[in-house]
Amino acid sequence: MKKILVLALVLVASLSVFAGGSKDSSTADDGTIKIALIIENTIDDKGWCQSMHDGITQAIAAMPDKKIEYSYAEKMLPVDAGSIARQYVAQGYDLIIAHGAQYKNLVLEIAEEYPDVSFAFGTSSEIGPANVFTYMPESEETGFLNGMIAGSITEDNIVGVVGPVDSGDSARYNRGFVLGVQSVNPEAKILVAHSGSFSDYVKAAEVAQSQLASGADVLTGSSQQAIGALRATAESPIAMWLGQDTAQLTTEEGKAKCVAACAYNYAAVVINLVNKIESGVKGGECIPMNFANGGFVFAYNPDLEAEWVTPELKAAVQEAMDSFIADPDGTLADWADVDYSTL
Amino acid sequence: MIDIITNMLSMCIPFSVALLLASTGEMFNQRAGVFNLGCEGVMAMGAFVGMLIPFLAGGGMRVSQWYNVLGFAAAAVLGALFGLFFGVITVTFRAPQGIAGIGLQMFGVGCAGTLFRHFVGGTQSIPGIPDVDIPLLSKIPVIGEIFFSHNAASYLAYIFIPVAWYILFRTPWGLKVRAAGTNPRAADSMGVNVSRTRYESLMVGGALAGLAGAYLSIAQAKMFSDTLISGRGFIAVALVYFGHWNPVKIMGGALLFTFAQTFQTVVQSFGISFPYELAVMLPYVLVIVVLAFTSRNDMSAPTSLGKPFNREIRT
């Protein structure tokens, strides 16, 4: 009995040492900043998760004077992510980015447990606790540019939008796209439908096929499910695509069908986060992403640009982008007023 | 308006094939008395292997259609092996079928995702199989677009339904399958090897689930990701109940479900003022409502469904 008691005490003491260690997560003594990324899909999904992973690696490359360590955890459902987040805390990570609004509750709960660690999640425009950053792509800007192109190049005057769910940055992108189409082609019919999922490629393809069958000849889509819609668009001999991620320009379908694409430049966000953490700010801020602060990039498909984008259209797109940079708060302030039922 | 309805109907046939094949396979399982919730996992493995072969042959570029045929064949064989594996667990070891099925589902989905990352990497697409306009028939107004302008795999799947009906209701093997699921004790006393019949049914069901997955990756989405199946395996199980364990009624259920899916996308696309969240739910609600209102007198569920058979124990 005595031996068992001693053994139990040793175990409890050992666990308490680990428990104490898990709270010790300040920046390493040698100045290394440790960043961890938690994502629900993979780092090469050509969409949402890849854009953040690429942003972090680009940010690290852009700050050669800083010692940054980076790890990521893929395929983390919100119910599983708590475990990995706590492991990252135990390993002394300084910044844990849970990339998706679905992680909000988890982040807020863990952030309360570990006030010395910085957390970030998005998309969200909420101002979080003192050790939680949020980030919000104001993607009505990217949607607007793509919409301008779609409205200009459609020959049948019907364009389609394949959304995942009507919330967050997807809702902003889709509504910005509608405004963009209407700005250059008020007569165009805009078909908007949601697959109901961020990752159901088959359903996104079905929505796209439905819109193509209804006469749409230019489509767009947001989140990783959009790859399914792009794949369906590639089957059409006439339809073209506008991407919400420049990674789509590198796919076979994108090379043939994607006239232009925007992307989130998370590198700007990550650099911002690192600088804030170094200066002692651990959270309590929402970092907007827009063209003005370098949060977005925009690119034409070099193989399709000459055929599909006239100099006048290119100039108009550039003018719109310049107006966003000049007045990031005002140009598309009415994006939320777009009502799909009136289209 | 006619155009919209024609478009909706023309999409029903190709979009329903995966559900049709998977639920027909599940029907064979359940007719033999085995409830296989692992359909989703087998579909995922079928989708992965089906896509892998043409992808490895062409690196994502167009390849001979024989590679796609080979992909379908490999998916069927792998699905049959999964069925065999499930048989070992539930028929030989008599493990609880529901739990074993959930295990198979997790194993299949996880395994497919892991192997995909290892052999392929990130999200990749393939050219897949093209649609075929059947000469003359595809030119018939409305009818041609609805029935005769689809990929070859969808025609074969629909041709298989009367074949499945014939096998189940008009052949000695079909009689053995039904006997094994309805009254295995009586079947055993008449010389039917119940365990062997259940194994065979599970292999047939697994092969069809594998083909259903391959259809998604080769003929419909023409790509693979580990979220490709996204619950369709469970819908297939529900459609077996919906269709009263009859291939023809299951076909009707698959078409109705797909029509509801297509209808909701059209409702959304045309800006009809209706919450899209409810529209997305519509097909699933439809299945639940039909199941709830199905008269129990019409149910022809195999009476020994889910019950392990042990010929040494008299009950």
The beta strands (E) that lie in B144-220 are given as 149-151
Taking the C-alpha atoms of residue B50 and residue B92, their distance in angstroms, rounded to an integer, is 29
pLDDT of A62 above 70: yes
Beta-carbon separation of A200 and B227 below 8 A: yes
Nearest CA-CA partner of A289 in A65, A52, A39: A52
Q: Answer whether B243's CB lies under 8 Å from B249's CB.
A: yes
Nearest CA-CA partner of B208 in B258, B242, B168, B169: B168
Chain B: nearest CA to A75, how far in angstroms? 10
Cα distances (Å, whole numbers) of residue A60 to A67, A273, B312: 8, 12, 68
Chain A: nearest CA to B10, how far in angstroms? 9
- Taking only the tens place, the pLDDT of each residue in A264-288 is 889 989 999 999 999 999 999 999 8
- Taking only the tens place, the pLDDT of each residue in A171-198 is 999 999 999 999 999 999 999 999 988 8
Residue A31: its pLDDT value, please?
81
Residue B25 lies in a domain: yes
Taking the C-alpha atoms of residue B242 and residue B288, their distance in angstroms, rounded to an integer, is 9
Domain boundaries, chain A: 18-138+266-289, 140-243+310-342
Q: Answer whether B174's CB lies under 8 Å from B167's CB.
A: yes
Beta-carbon separation of A45 and B122 below 8 A: yes
Which superfamily does CATH assign the domain made up of A18-138+266-289 to? Response regulator (3.40.50.2300)
For residue A61 the two structure tokens come to: 């490359």
A110's enclosing H/E stretch is helix A104-113
Residue B195 lies in a domain: yes
Beta-carbon separation of B271 and A206 below 8 A: no
Q: Which residue of B has its CA nearest to A195?
A: B280
Taking the C-alpha atoms of residue A62 and residue A34, their distance in angstroms, rounded to an integer, is 16
Residue B312 lies in a domain: no
Residue A14: its pLDDT value, please?
47
Q: Which residues of A touch B123 (CB under 8 A)?
A: 42, 44-46, 201, 224, 227
Q: Answer whether B239's CB lies under 8 Å from B232's CB.
A: no
How far is Cα of residue B68 from the mean position of the Cα atoms in its chain? Answer: 18
Count CB atoms within 10 A of the CB of residue A216.
Answer: 26
Cα distances (Å, whole numbers) of residue A333 to A140, A142, A327, B179, B224: 9, 14, 10, 68, 39
CATH number at B275 reads 1.10.3470
Residue B314 lies in a domain: no
Residue with tokens 């995909």: B116
- Taking only the tens place, the pLDDT of each residue in B253-293 is 999 999 998 888 888 877 677 788 888 888 888 888 887 87
For residue B226 the two structure tokens come to: 């580990």
Mean pLDDT for A281-299 is 91
Q: Which structural domain range is residue B193 located in?
A: 2-298
Interchain contact B7–A (C-beta under 8 A): yes
Residue B309 lies in a domain: no
Going by pLDDT thresholds of 50, 70 and 90, the confidence category of residue A17 is very low
Taking the C-alpha atoms of residue B283 and residue A203, their distance in angstroms, rounded to an integer, is 13
- Point out the residue among B225, B262, B268 whose CB comes nearest to the CB of A201: B225
Residue B313 lies in a domain: no
pLDDT of A259 above 50: yes
Residue A332: its pLDDT value, please?
84
Beta-carbon separation of B271 and A343 below 8 A: yes
Count CB atoms within 10 A of the CB of residue A62.
Answer: 12
Q: Which residues of B touch A45 (CB under 8 A)?
A: 122-123, 225
Residue B299: its pLDDT value, please?
61
Interface test with A, best of B150, B227, B230 (most A CBs within 10 A): B227
Residue B295: its pLDDT value, please?
58
DSSP letter string over B166-181?
HHHHHSHHHHHHHHHH
What's the mean per-residue pLDDT of chain A? 88
Binding-site residues on chain A for chain B (CB distance < 8 A): 41-46, 50, 75, 160, 165-166, 191-197, 199-203, 205-207, 209-211, 213-214, 224, 227-228, 231, 234-235, 251-253, 340-343
Domain range A140-243+310-342, CATH architecture: 3-Layer(aba) Sandwich (3.40)
Chain B: nearest CA to A261, how far in angstroms? 18
Which spans in A165-241 are helix H? 168-184, 201-213, 226-235
Mean pLDDT for B76-94 is 96
Residue B120: phi and psi, rounded to 5, are: -115, -50
Q: Which residues of A touch B111 (CB under 8 A)?
A: none
Coil, strand or helix at A122: strand
pLDDT of A44 above 80: yes
Q: Answer whether A63's CB lies under 8 Å from A275's CB.
A: no
Q: What angle do CA A186, A191, A194 make, to 5 degrees?
A: 140
Residue B293 lies in a domain: yes
Taking the C-alpha atoms of residue B61 and residue B74, their distance in angstroms, rounded to an integer, is 20
Encoded amino acid at A263, one letter = A
Burial A117-126 (b: 16+ CB within 10 A, else e): bbbbbbbbee
- Taking only the tens place, the pLDDT of each residue in B176-205 is 999 999 999 999 999 999 999 999 999 999
Residue B315 lies in a domain: no
Interface test with A, best of B265, B273, B278 (most A CBs within 10 A): B265
Going by pLDDT thresholds of 50, 70 and 90, the confidence category of residue A23 is very low
Q: Answer whether B146's CB lies under 8 Å from B9's CB.
A: yes
Chain A: nearest CA to B230, how far in angstroms? 6
Provide the whole-model pTM. 0.82
Counting the structural domains of chain B, the total is: 1
